[in-house]
């Protein structure tokens, strides 16, 4: 839980506004530009059938009207971050990343 809150604070700082959302309900009206993130995987490392280390993977989506948003390059520069895909929906650009944090 602390790790997610640290990630949330990092994304708030990176975006420069409060438009960072963790698993927002569909009824939420998002303000743009925004970052939406969700936990997408847990990578367990085992020794003697016991988990000794866990790495959480998050899916981070940068949503912006600007197709050349500098937020995308800031997110992509995070350690252990990998670009996944880009798509446009409702005239908004979505850049999706995977991040182990």
CATH of the domain at 10: 3.30.2000.30
HSE-up of 63 (CA within 13 Å, CB side)? 17
- Residues 81 and 100: their CA atoms lie apart, in Å, by 7
Q: What is the mean pLDDT of residues 78-84?
A: 96
Tokens describing residue 96: 């999706």
pLDDT attached to residue 25:
65
Cα distances (angstroms) measured from residue 34 to each of 6, 27, 51? 18, 16, 35
Which pTM does this prediction carry?
A: 0.88
Per-residue pLDDT, averaged over 78-97, amounts to 96
**What mean pLDDT comes out for the span 59-81?**
96
Q: What is the pLDDT of residue 27?
A: 57
What mean pLDDT do residues 41-65 have? 93
Of 64, 8, 62, 10, the C-alpha closest to 32 is 64
> Range of 96's domain?
2-100
Q: How many separate domains does the chain show?
A: 1
């Amino acid at each position: 839980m602390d790790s997610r809150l640290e990630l949330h604070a990092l994304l708030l700082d990176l975006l420069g506004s409060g438009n960072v959302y963790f698993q927002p309900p569909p009824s939420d009206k998002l303000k743009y530009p925004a970052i939406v993130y969700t936990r997408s995987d847990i990578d367990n490392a085992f020794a003697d059938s016991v988990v000794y280390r866990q790495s959480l993977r998050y899916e981070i989506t940068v949503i912006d009207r600007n197709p050349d948003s500098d937020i995308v390059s800031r997110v992509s520069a995070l350690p252990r971050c990998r670009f996944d895909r880009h798509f446009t929906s409702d005239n908004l650009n979505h850049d999706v990343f995977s991040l182990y944090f």
